[in-house]
Amino acid sequence: MQRTTPIVTLVALALLLWFLPQADETLLAAIDSGTLVAEPCTEPEGGLAVAATLGDVLLGEGVLEEPAEPGGDPVLRLRGFRLQAAQAVDLDLHQEMMDSIVRHLRSHGAEMESPVEFQVVEDLRSDSNGLLFEGQQGEQGLSLTVTLPGGGLVQAKKSEWRPPTRLSLLPPLVAIALAILLRKPVPALLAGVFAGSILARTHGGESFLGALFPGSIDVGRKYIWNEVVDTDRMMIVSFVIFMLAMVGVVTRAGGIQGLMDRIARLASDARKSQIATWLMGLVIFFDDYANTILVGTTMRPLTDRFKVAREKLAYIVDSTAAPVAGISILSTWIAFEVSTFSTQLPSAGLATGDGYAVFLQTLPYRFYCLFTLFFVGLVVFTGRDFGPMLKAERRARAGQLLREGAKPMVGKEATDLAPAPHVRPRSAVAIWPVLTFVLATLGIILKDGDALGHWRAGDLFTIEGATAVLYDGSGFAPLMWASLAGYVLALILGAVVGLGPREMLSASWSSLRSMGIGLAILYLAWSIGSICSDLGTAAYLSSILDNALNPLMLPLVLFLLSGFVAFATGSSWSTMTILLPLVVGISFRLGESVELGGYMLMVISIGAVLEGAIFGDHCSPISDTTVMSSIASASDHIDHVRTQTPYALVTMVVAMVCGYLPATILGLSPWLSLILGCAVLTGILFLHGQKADPAT
């Protein structure tokens, strides 16, 4: 019986891969043509080459640096778009190619040393003094040739471009299916990387037998090694290591014991300890990584004391971190989210600077995040659970925090670490390093984000100014350096209370010695994400959306699509980066044909992509935040995914049925949708949920 669900899941994933349609190659070429603006200029075959006059630059830079029309704002006059692979003029392909090129040119212009904004004028007259973009897709790959106003040509190409197919989903699906079936994430992920590495070779034109050996070598030499030497990955891992080492030292120094004794005066049972964890998850709103590691590691001793299942702790941690950071207007997420779609707002008749106003209008439509935060609170306040989580909680109340045979991401040496016999528990020993980490993180973000400059400019306390500081200063470096500062202070306080250097290093090592599996899972999950990028997984999924563009169903379709992309790739941010630039023009254009209107359909659609990305992240065993939640909570990773997924699915269905469908089809106020959804979630929990047996 325990194998029924994994087997059904495996069969469902196999059927999904089998029945998914093949994407149209010409459509994929049109969608991907815009990426060529970031490729170097090359000399075109035939015609008048002017690449030398543009210098050694990227195609987008060369186009955007062409002289603008005298007087007024810069104008990019587009004379027309053609895709030579098409047998006849196809207006849909024409529109896809136009949207892709303009979208990437806007993004490219915003990232140039001197940002360039331009007005787009489509002028199809043959005598127009404008630019003619001509794409070509065939055996030579994908190319984009630009005819300049003076008649010269400039070109960029991807000679190895091949359209992604449904097989691009194979690596993540292999990893996810085997992880669920075997409950062993490392071999499952390794199998996914191995399959993807060989598939990447065959996608490049090699035969299967010819790709078998070099593809196997690429697993370590290319994909895993590239993640190991990546600077951002190093900083993430360093942050996790310093935080866990800090917790080990303050535990040995009596800080965690003192903090738990203080909290236990209010959180005196299993239910109240879960409420305290939920509230702490809401308070740490500025970054999801910081939220996950900080809340999980500091609250685990308290929830262990009151016999709360490790899976339940991981669920509370995981399901508050990204949702609260995703909707908080003062977090490292908001500026990133806005940046992914703001450069495309001119295609909807808005200014790029209107991105923050649009983001704020999406907040009432962030149904999944809002329902998830509400549902986590409802679960912990009522003490009710259902499905695998109820079974886990009843097992924990009987004294077994982990399933028999479970493999927690942090070993017993760390979770059983006790204060040294000669120290007196003091909560300050834990509070000061944690507070140092939080303040140092914010301080470094403010410094790197030029908060002083914004203060002088007078916009620091506006939404735009504050989020610009958070965006410019955010990243993994502040988390790494701040966690190091917290660890150093923990060492100092440990010495003050009487711990010797050897004892503190031993405590640090006890917290770290068993997390090798966690790091292996992280690196393998990142490797699968890299493989998905090489295979064009997200581009394939985006292209099949073209057959389902009913205007009023668009937000729902986007929600499901972004959820599946995030589930398959393990990254909500990558999903947002890929899909959000596509949404603005499509949703605004389609919305003009319905009563809802182009602007409101665009707002709801943007919110749907943001929400779907977080939902998919919650259900994916290859998501880095899901892995970190398992590490911070010392939970078996697959058990965490198995117990959290039913709750995420229930919340997702309610978000669709009570949120996106009424808001688009019926025009229902989002506030009424939120009230209705919360009522439905409450009814579901009280009808199907039960309380775990009280601890003896």
User: Do residues 450 and 322 both lie within one domain?
Assistant: yes
Mean pLDDT throughout 80-101?
67
Using the structure block, give the residue that is written with the tokens 């194998």.
Answer: 3
Better-scored residue on pLDDT, 389 or 134? 389
Exposure class string for 151-186: b at 16+ Cβ within 10 A, else e? ebbbbbbbeebbbbbbbbbbbbbbbbbbbbbebebb
- Please tell me the distance from the alpha carbon of residue 488 to that of residue 494, in angstroms, as a whole number: 10
Better-scored residue on pLDDT, 65 or 666? 666
The answer to whether residue 197 is domain-embedded is no
**Residue count of the chain:** 696
* Total domains in the fold of the chain: 2
User: Do residues 250 and 131 both lie within one domain?
Assistant: no
Of 477, 492, 514, the residue at which a domain comes to its end is: 514
Q: Tell me the whole-structure pTM to 2 decimals.
A: 0.71
User: Do residues 120 and 29 both lie within one domain?
Assistant: yes
pLDDT-derived band of residue 412, with 50, 70 and 90 as boundaries?
low
The answer to whether residue 401 is domain-embedded is no
User: Do residues 329 and 452 both lie within one domain?
Assistant: yes
The answer to whether residue 640 is domain-embedded is no
The answer to whether residue 456 is domain-embedded is yes
Exposure class string for 490-524: b at 16+ Cβ within 10 A, else e? bbebbeebebeeebbebbbebbbebbebbbbbbbb
User: Do residues 128 and 29 both lie within one domain?
Assistant: yes
Work out the percent of the chain whose per-residue pLDDT is above 70.
Answer: 77
- Please tell me the distance from the alpha carbon of residue 603 to that of residue 480, in angstroms, as a whole number: 35
- Please tell me the distance from the alpha carbon of residue 242 to that of residue 239, in angstroms, as a whole number: 5
Show Cβ contacts of residue 67 under 8 Å, excluding neighbours closer than 6 positions. Answer: none
Cβ-in-10-Å burial (0-12, 13-18, 19+) of 127 comes to exposed
User: Do residues 153 and 236 both lie within one domain?
Assistant: no
User: Do residues 298 and 153 both lie within one domain?
Assistant: no
User: Do residues 144 and 248 both lie within one domain?
Assistant: no
- Please tell me the distance from the alpha carbon of residue 76 to that of residue 213, in angstroms, as a whole number: 49
Of 514, 537, 556, the residue at which a domain comes to its end is: 514
User: Do residues 414 and 310 both lie within one domain?
Assistant: yes
The answer to whether residue 189 is domain-embedded is no
User: Do residues 241 and 147 both lie within one domain?
Assistant: no
Q: How far is CA 209 from CA 161, 212, 213, in A?
A: 22, 5, 8
Q: Kindly state the tokens that stand for 169.
A: 């989903």
- Residue among 276, 378, 343, 294 at smallest CA distance from 117: 343
The answer to whether residue 286 is domain-embedded is yes
Better-scored residue on pLDDT, 149 or 47? 149
Phi, psi of 579 (to 5 degrees): -90, -35
Element (H, E) at 82: strand 75-83
Provide the pairing of β-strand 141-147 with 131-138: antiparallel
- Residue among 180, 278, 322 at smallest CA distance from 615: 322
The answer to whether residue 660 is domain-embedded is no
Beta bridge partners of 81: 133
**Domain of residue 84, residue span:** 25-158
- Please tell me the distance from the alpha carbon of residue 234 to that of residue 243, in angstroms, as a whole number: 14
CB atoms within 10 A of CB 126: 8
Better-scored residue on pLDDT, 444 or 288? 444
Give the per-residue pLDDT at 651. 94
pLDDT-derived band of residue 447, with 50, 70 and 90 as boundaries?
confident
Using the structure block, give the residue that is written with the tokens 């117990």.
Answer: 643
- Residue among 37, 24, 34, 35 at smallest CA distance from 163: 24
User: Do residues 237 and 115 both lie within one domain?
Assistant: no
Cβ-in-10-Å burial (0-12, 13-18, 19+) of 623 comes to buried
Better-scored residue on pLDDT, 686 or 456? 686
What's the pLDDT tens digit per position in 527-536?
877 787 778 7
What's the pLDDT tens digit per position in 24-34?
777 788 777 88
Q: How far is CA 260 from CA 131, 265, 299, 429, 432, in A?
A: 67, 9, 8, 12, 15
- Residue among 686, 646, 610, 640 at smallest CA distance from 368: 610
Exposure class string for 243-273: b at 16+ Cβ within 10 A, else e? bbbbbbbbbbbbbbbbbbebbbeebebbbbb
User: Do residues 296 and 417 both lie within one domain?
Assistant: yes
Mean pLDDT throughout 480-500?
89
The answer to whether residue 179 is domain-embedded is no
Better-scored residue on pLDDT, 613 or 176? 613
Of 461, 493, 514, the residue at which a domain comes to its end is: 514
- Residue among 353, 357, 342 at smallest CA distance from 103: 342
Work out the percent of the chain whose per-residue pLDDT is above 90.
Answer: 11
Task: Calculate Rg over the CA atoms of the chain.
Answer: 26
Give the per-residue pLDDT at 587. 78
What's the pLDDT tens digit per position in 94-129?
777 877 787 777 777 766 666 666 667 666 666 666
